Amino acid sequence: MEIYYQNSAGKRLYLDRGAYKMLAKSSLWDYEWNYSTNNYNGRPQMSIRRKSTKRNISVVVSAGTVTECMQKLSELSDFFDIDVVTGTAGRIYVGSGYLKCYVIKSTKSGKYVQTRKTTVTFDVLPDGEDWIYESKYIFQPQETSGSGNNMDYPHDYPFDYYNGMSSRILLNEAISDADFEMVVYGPCENPEILIGSHKYHVNCQLETGEYLVINSLSKKIYKVKNDGEQVNQYNLQDRDWYVFQKVASGSHSVSWSGLFGFDITMYERRSEPKWT
């Protein structure tokens, strides 16, 4: 299971190999729930939420010479500090799950400048309480040409497209409702997608190469044009249906016209990383 940190500049640093190895005594896996209790009709009621607590990781830094070890320490500090300087959280990954966070403190032993191997402890401040796992589902357009042959699609999908209306399955394996990002690819007009019994509908028009983004986390709806310009589409949502409705736990049928393709990325939230 890989362990690495990806900073806000998109650079990745592995903490399970080479010059850097994270120790198992880290509190990264620990979590705590805030809670309050009261009695309602003689029965206990729980009000709970996860507590975003500071954690720590201990990293062994080693190199062939003292000078090289000091260089590795400096590189490690700069790698973490860029997130604090820019105000954009990095991500620490354990396997495929990640925790958004900042590294806010470094503590070293008194002998760290005199050795080729030293241990540094870092305080990690989570940006949000949860470990996040992303699951991406790709739904193909099923439009055909006038001759009835399968159509090519302008985006790089490793699929052939076929006739007929679409009906597929979307599986949320998490124990709770999942936030999502939905990306609809043009060309299409007024795209409408039914997940289970809930409709996601925006009254907009997408040209070839354009796409629409619906994000339940940021509560944003926008179109990305061919020149990269983002155009707000929030006011074009169908007000009869809540377009940011989370995807409930379980299996759901997905239906749409089949005349366009789209992706759905779901975000599973967990108290701690998966152990496998």
Domain boundaries 3-129, corresponding CATH code: 2.40.30.200
- Is residue 165 over pLDDT 50? no
Supply the pLDDT for residue 205.
Answer: 97
Q: What confidence tens digit (pLDDT) does each residue in 5-44 have? A: 999 999 999 999 999 999 887 888 887 777 777 766 666 6
Same CATH topology for 3-129 and 133-270?
no
Please determine, looking at this structure, whether the domain spanning 133-270 carries the CATH number 2.60.120.880: yes
Q: What confidence tens digit (pLDDT) does each residue in 175-191 have? A: 899 999 999 999 999 99
Global confidence as pTM: 0.78
- Is residue 145 over pLDDT 50? no
Three state DSSP letters for the chain: CCEEEECCCCCEEECEECCEEECCCCCCCCCCEEEEEEEECCEEEEEEEECCCCEEEEEEEECCCHHHHHHHHHHHHHHHHHHHHHCCCEEEEECCEEEEEEEEEEEECCCHHHCCEEEEEEEEEECCCCEEEEEEEEECCCCECCCCCECCCCCCCCCCCCCCCEEEEEEECCCCCEEEEEEEECCEECCEEEECCEEEEECCEECCCCEEEEECCCCEEEEECCCCCEEECHHHECCCCCCCCCECCEEEEEEECCCCEEEEEEEEEECCCCCC
Domain ranges in the chain are 3-129, 133-270
Supply the pLDDT for residue 275.
Answer: 76
Q: What is the mean pLDDT of residues 62-91?
A: 93
